[in-house]
Amino acid sequence: MNLLDFDLDALTAWCETLGEKRFRAVQLFRWIHQKGARDFDQMSDLAKSLRAKLQGVAEIRPLPIASEQASADGTIKWLFDVGAGNAVEAVFIPEDDRGTLCISSQAGCAVGCRFCSTGHQGFSRNLTTGEILAQLWQAEHHLRQRLSVPAGERVITNVVMMGMGEPLQNYAALVPALKVMLDDHGYGLSRRRVTVSTSGVVPMIERLKADVPVALAVSLHAPDDALRDQLVPLNRKYPLRELFEACASYLEAAPRDFITFEYCMLDGVNDSPEQARQLIALVQGKAGAPRVPCKLNLIPFNPFPASGLHRSPRERVLAFAQVLQDAGIVTTIRKTRGDDIAAACGQLAGEVQDRTRAAERLTRPEVKVVRVHPAGPSAA
């Protein structure tokens, strides 16, 4: 039994099958997540008899690290081997006032967003709760040792489910992992500091609201359905009106009073001033969908050869941001971090044994992107 697969309630239930009380499960949980212990013999306040029992039936299973790369800007990227030729990535991004860990939820991704290198690799399988949490467990305790962080101080202050995969398409494994992140006996992160990023799996947004309403980021990338259908194929199933209804409803339980919309800036595709104005109308509830209080996060595209897309020039991003800001919408432009180790947003690629023929699908000529810049509508 891999104990990283359990949130505290599940660990308690499992300990009860061994004849142990809840407080023993709490002790065990704290040893694992707060102290990073892997060896039951280290767990000095557990009875020897329990330690012996655990040795025979349980383990805390780390993921083999295939590689670790450190960027000149302090960003660290790990490639974790999850078996059968698949590997997933996690990235630690240190900033002055926080340390953010971006982790993966799936080996590959079935959504197939046009601008995302993970999407182009296709999909192999969902990660287990233990595999999602192992990325945090290993990064946290590795960094604590490496940076000699005193007990009681945090290294990882924020977790974002923004690595490889669509977390809401791996819901059953995601929810216990989020609970461990929030648990005071686990990582003790507040709901505001744990973010799930989704491409818009509407029914699961509703469930997340009920089960564990952490901060929500939505990959938007287009101001209308026609373009979003091309960039984020899931939009054909859950169009903007439904997505915005789900977002407005989510805010009733969210830890923040806004949704973060991610918007990847693609040269000549979604970056014109007119599209910025369409975006304003959309989020302000003037385009047929409900109003959603939001922050816009503009992301410089990180090109990769198979995408056929290009990064918007800096001045175009600034002009786009200005139109949004002039309308009173809080807008940030994401700093690219870890460029030199391909750790920036949208660059996580890992290794995926694709079971979905994504590369073939995504390069079919009929997949078209409407260009509205610079010479009016045409096709990319």
Task: Write out the binding residues for S-adenosyl-L-methionine.
Answer: 165-166, 197, 219-221, 302
302 binds ligand SF4 (CB under 6 A): no
Site for ligand SF4 in 177-236 (CB under 6 A): 199, 219
Output the CA torsion 133→136→139→140 (10° steps): -120
What is the DSSP code string of 149-201? PPTT--S--EEEE-SSS-GGGSHHHHHHHHHHHH-TTTT---GGGEEEEES--
Cα–Cα distance, 7 to 139 (Å, whole number) = 19
Integer Rg of the chain from CA: 21
Per-residue CA distances from 165 to 102, 126, 141 (Å): 12, 8, 24
Count of CB atoms within 10 A of residue 356's CB?
Answer: 16
112 binds ligand SF4 (CB under 6 A): yes
156 binds ligand SF4 (CB under 6 A): no
The window from 106-114, 181-189, 265-273, 298-306 that contacts ligand SF4 (CB under 6 A) reads 106-114
Q: Shortest distance, CB of residue 273 to ligand SF4, whole angstroms?
A: 25
- Given a contact cutoff of 8 angstroms between Cβ atoms, the answer to whether 272 and 237 are in contact is no
Among 76, 111, 214, 276, binds ligand SF4 (CB under 6 A): 111
Q: Which is nearer to ligand SF4, 138 or 235 (CB)?
A: 235
Written as one letter, the residue type at 358 is A
Find residue 219's DSSP bridge partners. Answer: 262
* 102 in active site: no
Q: Which is nearer to ligand SF4, 186 or 350 (CB)?
A: 350
Q: Which is nearer to ligand SF4, 100 or 347 (CB)?
A: 347
User: Under DSSP, is residue 376 helix (H, G, I), strand (E, B) or coil?
Assistant: coil
Could you tell me how many residues of this chain bind ligand SF4 (CB under 6 A)?
A: 12
Q: Shortest distance, CB of residue 104 to ligand SF4, whole angstroms?
A: 9
130 binds ligand SF4 (CB under 6 A): no
279 binds ligand SF4 (CB under 6 A): no
Cα–Cα distance, 137 to 120 (Å, whole number) = 28
Of 15, 247, 264, 345, the active-site residue reads 345
Per-residue CA distances from 232 to 31, 168, 325, 361 (Å): 41, 15, 25, 14
Of 20, 89, 131, 262, the active-site residue reads 89
Q: Shortest distance, CB of residue 201 to ligand SF4, whole angstroms?
A: 9
The window from 27-35, 104-112, 306-314, 323-331 that contacts ligand SF4 (CB under 6 A) reads 104-112
* 345 in active site: yes
166 binds ligand SF4 (CB under 6 A): yes
Q: Which is nearer to ligand SF4, 8 or 362 (CB)?
A: 362
- Given a contact cutoff of 8 angstroms between Cβ atoms, the answer to whether 211 and 190 are in contact is no
| Contacting residues toward ligand SF4, per CB under 6 A | 109, 111-113, 116, 118-119, 164-166, 199, 219
Q: Which residues are catalytic?
A: 89, 345
